[in-house]
Amino acid sequence: MSSLANLSLPNRRFALGLGLAGEGLKYFRYWIAAAVVLAFLGPLALSLSTEIELSTWFYTANVGKWFTAFVAGGFLYALVPNMIAAGLTRRELSAAMGVFGLLWSIAIGVLVFAGLLVERVFYDAMGWTQGIQLNDTITTLGSWGETAAFAAVYPLMYLAYFAAGAAIGAAAYRWEGSGWLLLVPVLPVVFSLDNALYDTEPFGPGWMGFLGRFMDDWGRAAVLAAIVAVALVLAVAARRILIDIPLRSKKA
């Protein structure tokens, strides 16, 4: 990691966070490029046989949430033994993960924001409708403002999914064999908020969105505030799990 060269003790947690974001984006650059290309070429191919009335970037952006959670959990799971053995404290690692999460969420969020706006131009040029599926009906993003507002919440959603992934990754390392069970309380809450925000069917089994019924009447601002709160709680939980985590014994 070139960003680690010549670092000093007080700033190394920030340099590491920056380096992780850079390395993460570099490592998955071909995956990200493939997703971008598919998001534009997909509707073009589909238009040969059907009328396009749904945003492909809506689906790409939602896959990005899972991807973000996977990156956070997978990286943290691998980094715990690696970084602590390299002389990092757990507090420094949690700070580095915070920087990583912020930068990653901003980078992927900006990409999705730009993708949805470019898609808007693309769809308008092709005479297609940029819509999202709401339960059984399709809602059209009627104006540029609606598209921008719809896209603007993705960085926050990615941050929430990153925090969820980090908490589950830390738990999976700490409680080998049973740590992944943290999925059970975390996923329904995150999915339900996600569901409430867009008022769409969540990804995954339908029951996971059950909490959404209690949020139907919430305003968008309240849901956004709840997402911020959940992201913070998950980040604190991940840090708490990490803060006194023991390194596992090496197996022969």
Using CB under 8 A, list all residues that contact another protein. Answer: 1-2, 4-5, 7-9, 12, 16, 78-79, 81-92, 243-244, 246-247, 249-250
Closer CB to another protein, 18 or 151, in the complex = 18
Which residues have CB under 8 Å from 151's CB, separation 6+?
A: 61, 112, 113, 116, 117
Closer CB to another protein, 83 or 132, in the complex = 83
In contact, 165 and 72? CB cutoff 8 Å:
yes
To another protein, the closest distance from the beta carbon of 185 in angstroms equals 25
To another protein, the closest distance from the beta carbon of 170 in angstroms equals 16
To another protein, the closest distance from the beta carbon of 237 in angstroms equals 19
Q: How far apart are CA 169 and CA 140, in angstroms?
A: 37
Q: How far apart are CA 213 and CA 135, in angstroms?
A: 13
Closer CB to another protein, 31 or 214, in the complex = 31
To another protein, the closest distance from the beta carbon of 173 in angstroms equals 12
To another protein, the closest distance from the beta carbon of 5 in angstroms equals 6
In contact, 72 and 102? CB cutoff 8 Å:
no
Nearest Cα neighbor of 228 from 202, 190, 195, 174 is: 190
Q: How far apart are CA 96 and CA 239, in angstroms?
A: 11
Please count the CA atoms within 13 angstroms of the CA of 82 that sit on its side-chain side: 7
Closer CB to another protein, 225 or 243, in the complex = 243
Closer CB to another protein, 91 or 220, in the complex = 91
Closer CB to another protein, 2 or 135, in the complex = 2
To another protein, the closest distance from the beta carbon of 243 in angstroms equals 8
To another protein, the closest distance from the beta carbon of 214 in angstroms equals 40
Buried b (16+ CB within 10 A) or exposed e, 158-194: bbbbbbbbbbbbbbbbbeeeebeebeeebbbbbbbbb
Closer CB to another protein, 222 or 243, in the complex = 243
Here the tokens at position 248 are: 């596992």
Which residues have CB under 8 Å from 158's CB, separation 6+?
A: 64, 65, 68, 104, 105, 108, 109
